[in-house]
Amino acid sequence: MRRVYLYARFQRFWHWMQAIIILGLLFTGLEVHGLFIGINYEDACNLHNALAFGLLGFILLAFFWYITTGDFRQYLTEGNLLEKIMLQVRYYMIGIFKNEPHPFKKNEISRLNPLQRITYLLLTLIGLPMQIVVGFIYYYFNELVAFGMPSSWLAPIAWLHTLLAYLLIGFVVMHVYMTTTGHTLTSNIKAMITGWEEVEE
Amino acid sequence: MKLPLIGRFVPVMLSSMLLCTPVSAVEFHRHLDSLSLSTADHTKFKQLQKDFKSGPEVTRACLECHTEAARQVHRTKHWTWEVPMKDGKLLGKRHVVNNFCISVDGNEPRCTSCHVGYDWKDKSFDFTSQEHVDCLVCHDGTATYKKLPPGAGHPAYKDTKVEGKNWPKVDLGHVARNIKNPDRHNCGQCHFEGGGADAVKHGDLDNSMVHPSESLDVHMASGPGQLNMTCIDCHKTTGHQVPGSRYTPHASDAHGFDYPLPDDFPATCSSCHGLEPHRKNKKLNDHIARIACQTCHIPTIARERATKMWWDWSTAGRKDKDGREITRKDSTGLPVYVTKKGDFRWAKNVAPEYRWFNGNMNQITFMTTIDDRKVVQINHPDGKCEDNTSRIWPFKVHRGKQPYDTETKRFVKPKLFGPKGSGAYWSDFDWGKSIEVGMKNAGMPYSGKYGFVETEMYWPINHMVAPKEQALACSECHSRHGRLEQLCGIYLPGRDANPVVEIIGLIVVAGSVLGVSAHGAIRYFTNRNKGKGGHQ
């Protein structure tokens, strides 16, 4: 058993701010979608729009941080990525029930397993940007129509925004569950709070 | 194209830096006294220092100075009751079908108590007569000038009793010496009492608007420090032509502010409020292209007095066992059954109905062949979502049943008002006779067979603008089962959803929750069997 410092202060701050913002966006977004009455429609709508600007800001900040610190390398992989991912998937499907050790060891220079790398990369480079872009098209719809966008796009844009939101809920559920698959049930969450994680030798 | 971010944030930043709050609208509407309003004091005019015997006599005195006034009035629909439309239809009060008192023809002395003239008793009325223009009804500054209900436009020249109500003699000289630009009570004499009594017709115009509270009408509220606007502040009249007509409404004013360059539609909201009226919440300005201001800012109509929602002529004519006419009233004193008129339904604080509206009203006339198998729309707003000039507008929809010719499938003009034996329904209570006499008077064919058909009539809502705090909340429309539940053609967040997206969403959310639960459960049991909590 060994304690390693996995998450820098900025990363932890960014992670939790993004978590709060995304949960806020999901909550207000679902209210605006009419699934329940939480705060009230107008406040939910305004909060949703403000949080969207916040999310955009944090994502840009994170890109800046990852690029300038070089930490983006954590997301790069060498060798056969698919094979490595399948190893990790096999662990979650079979190995975890047999108390097998994690196929990839965490350490300071490699804190993400291949499945995490690809998931977070897809989320950060494709999923969230797409949702943000669609959301901003939705928000600036009138301006874009004035620029020549067909006004009949409103419904498809809204549907796409809703669909991506549902997919994001799926991610959040699985992501939260995955935190329990570390060394102990809470070691991953503790690491994201303190930065330090106990890992297998 | 403006820069949205800069346009939105910079002014807010600047104004918060300078700590300036927007100037209250009251600042722009300063109190005016008589001297600031007019160069002439009519109490000093020699022509007016007398007791006038009749309305036309007053008008002759007016015309001595205002030589062209009557000829100006002759050009207005207030005088002609006739509005030629672009599609060739002849509308205006004289010609339209309505589902209140049905038709003016043949009932003139009663209906024409709201004409800006004297003596329109029948078809022989001379529309070129200058002395028959009624100046006082619009310009009375004393609020004592009233036209007698069945007086063909004349006021009471001696103390008179009509239907149990006293109409005291009007002091015409006093009124003539105290004339003013029209105020709310002048316009209201007819426009608040359309349909025969207070609050019957429009729903957004009734006598509570003479001195409205701020919550009833934020513009016309007459209390201290309130705007105290009159009808003609928006219906800016030049040459006696009053703009803003429901025959030619302006459903969408893309011109915006009327300053410095006015358009021909001064009565629209955006003439004063511009095209981006919401300062704090920009998203609200995005609504303007498709939603009329009135839709949100007039949350309900008939807020202080109930308006008529249903008038069923087919039940008229019932009498009690002694053969006397019946009047049944509800607990608030409003008539719900009158022998002369049939059944009524009234409602207070009514949520309007909403329709796409491009400013054209589809009107039927007495020449239109109707489909009597369903509810006949006497008029209905034209417009649809796909058409970018249409906006969502509020309407009062007045429904009822009225007589029509079952053979020709046209509406008929029953004679309602008249003495016993004239065939008038209100004296003789015989529909067949009254329709026959009415149609004959109008010179129109009638098969002799009549029935009653259900109708509906749309009245665009413009007045009773509430203070902004009372405007509709978003969720009134942005919700399932909201006010716009029935209005199709547009994606409305909070109301609409794509079923495929929702099913995929349900599968994803439920699937992930069930999936991790199952995974967690299996982990729990398999690891328990091995007697260990985590991984080694």
| Rounded Cα–Cα distance for residues B12 and B6 (Å) | 10
**Cis omega (within 30 of 0) for bond into B260:** yes
Confidence of residue A3 (pLDDT cuts 50, 70, 90): confident
What is the β-pairing status of strands B361-363 and B379-381? antiparallel
Structure-token pair, residue A117: 């790398």
Cβ(B283)–Cβ(A49) below 8 Å: yes
Query: Which residue, among B306, B299, B309, has the nearest Cα to B348 in the 3D structure?
Result: B306
| Residue B256 included in any domain | no
Domain encompassing residue A171: 2-199
| Residue B502 included in any domain | no
pLDDT given at position B23: 58
* B505, B520, B526 ranked by CB distance to A163: nearest: B505
CB-based burial, B227-241: b 16+ in 10 Å, e otherwise: bbbbbbebbbbeebe
Q: Half-sphere exposure of residue B146, counting CA atoms within 13 Å on the CB side?
A: 16
pLDDT given at position A199: 76
CB-based burial, B37-56: b 16+ in 10 Å, e otherwise: eeeeebeeeeebeeebeebb
- Number of folded domains that form chain B: 2
Structure-token pair, residue B266: 């001064």
| Residue B361 included in any domain | yes
Q: Half-sphere exposure of residue B467, counting CA atoms within 13 Å on the CB side?
A: 9
List, in order, residues 6 or more apart from A82 with CB less than 8 Å away. Answer: none
List, in order, residues 6 or more apart from A70 with CB less than 8 Å away. Answer: none
Q: Is the pLDDT of residue A126 over 70?
A: yes
On average, the pLDDT of chain A sits at 90
Q: Is the pLDDT of residue A38 over 60?
A: yes
Domain encompassing residue B333: 307-476
- Torsion-angle region of A173 (φ positive above 0: left; ψ -120 to 50: alpha; else: beta): alpha
* Residue B173: burial class (beta carbons within 10 Å; 0-12, 13-18, 19+): middle
CB spacing of A166 vs B520 below 8 angstroms: no
Cβ(B445)–Cβ(B439) below 8 Å: yes
Maximum alpha-carbon separation in chain B: 116
**Alpha helical stretches, state H, B205-281:** 231-234, 270-273
**Which residue(s) pair with B153 in the sheet?**
none
What is the β-pairing status of strands B165-167 and B160-162? antiparallel
Q: Is the pLDDT of residue A131 over 70?
A: yes
Cβ(B192)–Cβ(B209) below 8 Å: yes
pLDDT given at position B30: 62
pLDDT given at position B457: 97
| Residue B273 included in any domain | no
pLDDT given at position B536: 39
Q: Give this complex's ipTM.
A: 0.92
* Phi, psi of B329, deg, nearest 5: -120, 155
| Rounded Cα–Cα distance for residues A187 and A170 (Å) | 22
* B1, B495, B508 ranked by CB distance to A166: nearest: B508
Give the CATH number of the domain where residue A95 resides. 1.20.950.20
CB spacing of B505 vs A158 below 8 angstroms: no
| Residue B497 included in any domain | no
Which secondary-structure segment (H or E) carries B338?
strand B335-338
pLDDT given at position B9: 61
**Which residue(s) pair with B345 in the sheet?**
B310
List, in order, residues 6 or more apart from B16 with CB less than 8 Å away. Answer: none
Q: Is the pLDDT of residue A165 over 90?
A: yes
Please calculate the CA angle B127-B128-B132 and round it to the nearest 5 degrees: 75
Residue of B388, B468, B475, B525 to mutate, interface with A, max A Cβ within 10 Å: B475
Residues B212 and B63 in one domain: yes
pLDDT given at position A99: 84
Report field, pTM of the whole predicted structure over 0.80: yes
Which secondary-structure segment (H or E) carries B84?
strand B83-84
- Tokens 């909550």 locate to A27
CB spacing of B493 vs A140 below 8 angstroms: no
Cβ(A58)–Cβ(A21) below 8 Å: yes
- Torsion-angle region of B418 (φ positive above 0: left; ψ -120 to 50: alpha; else: beta): left
Q: Please list every residue in chain A whose beta carbon sits closer than 8 Å to the beta carbon of residue B494.
A: 32-34, 41
- Number of folded domains that form chain A: 1
| Residue B281 included in any domain | no
Kindly list the distances between the CA atom of residue B465 and the CA atoms of B26, B252, B352, B469, in Å, as whole numbers in the listed order. Answer: 16, 17, 13, 11
Pick the last residue of a domain from B227, B242, B257.
B242
Interface of A with B in 126-155 (CB under 8 A): 139-143, 146-147, 151, 154-155
What pLDDT tens digit does each residue of chain B (536 aa) get?
445 555 556 655 665 555 555 556 666 666 667 787 789 999 999 999 999 999 999 999 999 999 999 999 999 999 999 999 888 889 999 999 999 999 998 898 899 999 999 999 999 999 999 999 999 999 999 999 999 998 999 999 999 998 889 999 999 999 999 999 999 999 999 999 999 899 999 999 999 999 999 999 999 999 988 999 999 999 999 999 999 988 888 999 989 999 889 898 999 999 999 999 999 888 899 999 899 999 999 999 999 999 999 999 999 999 999 999 999 999 999 999 999 999 999 999 999 999 999 999 999 999 999 999 999 999 999 999 888 889 999 999 999 999 999 999 999 999 999 999 999 999 999 999 999 999 999 999 999 999 999 999 999 999 999 999 999 999 999 999 999 998 888 899 999 999 999 999 999 999 999 999 999 999 998 887 665 444 43
